[in-house]
A and B are shown apart, each in its own frame.
Chain A
Amino acid sequence: MSDIKLVNVTKQYDGQPLPAVDGVTLDIAAGELVVFVGPSGCGKTTTMKMINRLIEPTSGRILLGGTDVMSIEPNELRRHIGYVIQQIGLFPHMTISENIQLVPGLLGWDKTRSRRRADELLELVGLDPVAYRDRYPRQLSGGQQQRVGVARALAADPPVMLMDEPFGATDPITRERLQNEFLRLQAELRKTIVFVTHDFDEAVKLGDRIAVLEERSRIAQYDTPERILATPADDYVASFAGSATAIKRLALIPAERLPGKPLNVANGLPTLDKGGSARDVLDLMIRWGTAQVAVDGGKAVDFETICGLLGDDHGR
């Protein structure tokens, strides 16, 4: 399987007093989405680019499914790793379908197969193949282009994907929609993904685990979003996590999983739509001034339940 192991990886540029990446050691389990989050210039992108050898490490080892990446021919390696960048980088002189077929073409798939694959992927990212396959990138909106960017990275069904702030250049509404679609996609595909962002909220929303990086890509904390919010390792992580972390943690708990009482149909409580979180429950309570909210599925959740949710490890 395609787990990723970074062992003491360092990148030292000539003429720089300090390394850009300083001795990073990190295990990423197969099928896991790990977010590298940190301020601009902290070396998170450099760390990611060493996985597909766009940047070569000065020392240390990177293992992909147990194989040292330095032992694989770089172009061959990259064809088996999906790659999405912030600027999307769709080739303007190729149609949407041709863009998606690029890596299958490099891998020597026959035309019919890669064309069918392109249609399949357009469908997967929510674009009608008949309407979009023969268009050119500039005929698509930014959000549509980014969907094609993801489809292109998925074209040859790589087990590993590297994503460098893929949703960074889109407006907040489009970004949220892309994030939701992406989560749905990942739940289905279970790729091993390294996702780079400087947006902590995006990291919390998307990551199975988050690596909070300091300068020179040193890992301040590597844990699940819940635990980073609940027990930040140090002041740096706490400041990065920002304020209202308890509220942010509530957002990670789906309302369906909350304990509740059977609902009396006639009581006229405010009702939460399907797919909401514990934070949405609290929001409804505050908005309506009630201590009880009906959650889709026929139960009533109490204010006390919400207050007790964060339980033992409330990190005071």
Chain B
Amino acid sequence: MAVDTLSGAFGGATRKSRSYNLGTPLVLAAALVLLYLWLSTQQLDSMEARVLSAASIRDATLAHLTLTAISTSIVVVIAIPIGVLLTRPFARWLTPWVMAVANVGQAAPALGVLVLLSILFGIGTKIAIVTLVFHATLPVLRNTIAGIQQVDSALLEAGRGMGMSRRQILRRLELPLAVPVVMAGLRTTIVICVGIATVATFINAGGLGDIVVAGIKLQRTSILVTGGVLTAVIALGLDWLAGLAEKYVRPQGI
């Protein structure tokens, strides 16, 4: 995973074009249209009709997006400063310890963590967000560290030799040059959040997991497929949007 994320980032760094990849949104739109057409050919019973009503789908989708957005924001606020801190000489010794915790966070089964936390602290959206953050911190954290470490040491030496302070070197050299790698980590985090947010339904925190689980319980393929397709479309769609954002925040020249 680490290698994938990094090589993706470096591959991106050498690409110069700012063209949008319009293939992804077209495929996603086509998937949604097909889903709609397929559903309209089905005879929906009353249970299916209730779960697949516009209001039900809208609420689940909004809840899902909210969970993802809040968790991702918290990850950004936590992981980037910690990542930056861990690359400073005085804190470097802490890096293996923090990475160990972050690795456990990602390796632990989400459902297990969710259940454990809800037994300890009760159910609801807050606990779901804690689980998501616990799970999705690693990519941003790891890529912030990697992104700063991959900055050519000759550049830092040049900066120091020209009289830039440590703070100026961080702000004007290390951080801008780490952006592509950090953004690659952020994309991974977003996709993980969208995926894991489906289990939030088990502690009554809503999301598209409601629809998927309803499909399983009621043994209705139509519901199950709808929940699955919507989750996948959101994951890929947000990843595409983040890729677009990456093109804009990446400094010119690199």
Contacts and interface: CB of A to CB of B under 8 A. Distances in A.
Interface string B141-161: 000000000001011011111
Nearest to A98: B253
Contact of A95 (B155, B158, B172, B253): B253
Nearest to A152: B162
Given A83-B158, A85-B154, A87-B154, A93 B163 contact: no
A170 interface: no
A85 B253 contact: no
A62 interface: no
Nearest to B173: A91
Interface in B121-135: none
A103 B163 CA distance: 8
Given A85-B154, A85-B158, A93-B177, A79 B253 contact: no
B161 A85 contact: yes
B69 interface: no
B168 interface: yes
Contacts of B161: 52, 54, 78, 83, 85, 162
Nearest to A78: B163
A226 B162 CA distance: 34
A75 interface: yes
B253 A137 contact: yes
Given A85-B157, A89-B155, A75 B254 contact: no
A106 B253 contact: no
Interface string B210-254: 000000000000000000000000000000000000000001111
Given A91-B173, A106-B168, A54 B160 contact: yes
A196 to B, nearest CB: 13
A228 interface: no
B73 interface: no
Nearest to B164: A106
Interface string A64-80: 00000000001111111
A152 B163 CA distance: 13
B165 A75 contact: yes
Nearest to A75: B163
A136 B158 contact: no
Given A76-B163, A77-B163, A106-B164, A94 B253 contact: yes
B155 A106 contact: no
A66 to B, nearest CB: 21
B176 interface: yes
Residue with the highest number of chain A CB atoms closer than 10 Å, among B154, B161, B173:
B161
Given A85-B157, A87-B154, A92 B253 contact: yes
A128 B176 CA distance: 28
A89 B253 contact: no
Given A85-B154, A89-B157, 8 more contacts: A54-B161, A83-B161, A85-B157, A85-B158, A89-B158, A90-B158, A91-B172, A91-B173
6 contacts: A75-B164, A80-B163, A87-B158, A88-B154, A91-B173, A138-B253
